[in-house]
Amino acid sequence: MATARTLLLRADIVHDIGLISLIVTAVGVAGSLLIWRAITLPSLRPTFVFLILTGSFDAMSRFGDLWTLGVGTNPTHRSFDGTTAGTQSGATEPTP
């Protein structure tokens, strides 16, 4: 960074030291981000694929749980909380 700053100042390309510092800093940050992107993201691709697949499978399994419990298909099946499962509106005896 110091070499680039000195070259810009000595070559009279840019006369303002503040602008030179801004340019050198922006190029340094952009270069670091490009290096990070080129090295880190390709090695993380298998991890991202695994997380997306397992998240999708988990989301789909939630629908299977609801279908197994019968929520929405049979009015006698209530939410599976142990108190109203298989009973009608808090009745003490199960409905036939």
3 neighbors 27 (Cβ within 8 angstroms): no
Residues in the chain: 96
Predicted pLDDT of residue 89: 52
pLDDT band at 23 (very low <50, low <70, confident <90, very high): confident
Domain ranges of the chain: 2-69
Q: What is the pTM of this model?
A: 0.42
pLDDT in tens, 25-41: 898 999 999 999 999 88
Mean pLDDT, rounded, for 38-62: 88
Residue 22 clears pLDDT 60, i.e. is over it: yes
CA distance 84 to 96: 15
